[in-house]
Chain A
Amino acid sequence: MVSEELEDHGPRRVHPLTVVIWFLKKAPQNVVGLPAIIGVTSGRGLGWIALAAVGIGVVSLVWTWINWRRFTYEVTDSELVIERGLLNRTRRSIPLERIQDVGIEQGPLSRIFGLAEVRVETGGGDKDEAVLDSVSLSEAARLRGALRGAPARPAVGLDTCEDAPPVEDTLTDVFAMSPQRVLLLGLFSFSLVWIAALAGAIQFLGDALGFGWDEIADMAKSAQGEVQSRLTYSTGFGLFGLVVLLGVITGVARTVLREWNFKLRAGIGRFRRTRGLLTRSEVVVAMRRIQLALIQRGPFRGLLGWNALSVQTLGGSNDPSGRQVLAPLARDYEVAGIVARAGLPPFERLALRPVAPAHILRALVLAVPLPLGVIAAALLLTPFAWLGLILTLPPVLTALLQRRYHRYALRSASLQVMRGVLAQRDWIVPVENVQVVTLRQGLIQRWLGLVTVEVDTAGAGMGATPAVVDVALKDGATLARDLAAGIS
């Protein structure tokens, strides 16, 4: 597999001095740390420790050398090939069209030896896609030339062409938050942290003063006793009011600090967002790095017709990856305006289709058993546990409404999905930005003849993804097929 001769064509190894660099990098733990631990734990003398150090050093050097022998790379006319591994042999092919950036780095050790580390970025998920550690400076320059000399072909959805320095053009205002609107957003951002803090404080004070939840429960039962004299209804309500007030103040203060004077402006191919009261932050979002748009409506603001718009971007060498808020509190027409400015197709709610009716059934199956089980267990302790049935009402209602708010369509070259009952989300995913399509079917879904269609996009972080949950098997297959056909 690995050819022995190292000529101009054919696989090459990284510079032999790399063995020394790798060895020196690991030396502190291997040659000093490990023998020291062995020496201390076994209680032997310095001679033993030195002997162990030499032994481990030799083993580590041989191991490093074997790894070096087994690591080869080759630049052919169409791809960069990296082979590595002793038992687990891996051969990685990186097509030259996919290489976005070639970085040359010199650490202190490499500088001493006149070597450099070459990092190849393709815009894939992981960072260490291809690292050549280390090659001579002239080889690094040759590699950069060979890897970058490839005709830059723009891949769909990803940019392989170099970022041109941004042309200084005039920016036009697209969206701004007035002070009133920032305050309104602050009211919506009521913070529940204080209620948790109050609970914690009662616990703490209770431990300190000798009363707590148990005593409060006793009080509720007997409606008298010493505790009651300390915590009357009026102080209780007063405390509650204080907590609500603190929650509101926290929400408003945090929002004002972050969103004050929020301005979104657009130039050629990019958005520029500035916001913040004390620390002004400025973010540039390149439009062609936008992977999808997400419109969110919280429980209260949604009812009042307010939306939040954010976009998911693919990170690059200078751009942040992940979710960027373009409008924290906006009306429908404002959201539509920004979406159109970003060059994305509009979200058309009326054109969407609901998922399969059995979605409700599965939602109920997932929502009901756990609370019922808890109540059944609690019934063994107290007969009043059936009151807990009231608590199962919200999840059941949510499950019943779930299908009403879960709709999807493949329209104007974009996948449009809305999902969520209390926190509603609308996604606009241009089909060309879909990376992988997955059909997934769990056990319950198999019994009900349902399937979930998941789409993977670049730059997605944690949190909900634009999946179409519980469509009929036939519709799911059609959707997946159409999505895949739209990409390739």
Chain B
Amino acid sequence: MLLPDTPLNPLERGQLNAMRLTGAVFWTVATLVSFGPGFGLSTGFDWFPLWLPAAVIAPLGLWSVLYATPKRWSRWGWAWTGKELHVASGWLTRRHTIVPAARVQHIDVTVGPIERMFGVATLVLHTAGTANSEVQLPGITRETAEEIRDAIRDQLTVDPW
């Protein structure tokens, strides 16, 4: 909670499942692939067991999917105040980004295949900035993303002065 006065909405539960599925696929593939070098090493050195790399990677994957991913998911938060979009994230290093609607150049709403399975979408705000010109908010419903997009667009048509 870097900005305690701004109450943040959590991401959809679907996003947690999407993150878990992505992680599970990645770690399963990594575990299977690790049998390759494991096989190579076990033929090279008699003492080297074939399953050793997999036995290291699989628990790491379990830890990541069962513990780290929910942690990371719960650190995300967002709020649309009507003038600014707040996006907070990060488990060890925490970030809270404020994008004023008046600074938005264009807006993307993206839905990937896994995101579609769990009914979530990613909202991407582009500004004229440099290091942080693309602010992403994943894990909201498509309807919410479109609502925020339309709200920001309405802000733009209001004269700044």
Contact = CB atoms under 8 A, between A and B. Distances in A.
A123 B130 CA distance: 11
Contact of A456 (B3, B4, B95, B127): B127
Interface in B79-118: 83-84, 92-113, 116
B134 interface: yes
Contacts of B130: 125, 456-461
A260 to B, nearest CB: 32
Given A124-B126, A458-B130, A477-B3, A88 B112 contact: yes
B140 to A, nearest CB: 14
B14 to A, nearest CB: 16
Task: Categorize the interface residue count of chain A.
Answer: 35 or more
B25 interface: no
A156 B3 contact: no
B4 A477 contact: yes
A129 B4 contact: no
A89 B132 contact: no
B95 A122 contact: no
Interface residues of B, number: 46
B23 to A, nearest CB: 18
A263 to B, nearest CB: 30
B2 interface: yes
A90 interface: yes
Contacts of A97: 156-157
Contacts of A90: 108-110
A126 interface: yes
Contacts of B101: 488
B160 A473 contact: no
B55 to A, nearest CB: 30
Interface of A: 78-79, 85, 87-95, 97-98, 122-126, 129-130, 153-158, 314, 434-443, 446, 451, 454, 456-461, 465, 473, 476-477, 480-481, 483-484, 487-488
11 contacts: A88-B113, A93-B109, A98-B105, A434-B103, A438-B96, A439-B95, A451-B2, A458-B129, A477-B5, A484-B98, A488-B83
Given A156-B102, A440-B94, 19 more contacts: A85-B110, A88-B111, A88-B112, A88-B113, A89-B111, A89-B112, A92-B107, A95-B153, A122-B128, A124-B127, A129-B106, A436-B99, A436-B103, A440-B93, A451-B2, A483-B98, A484-B98, A487-B102, A488-B103
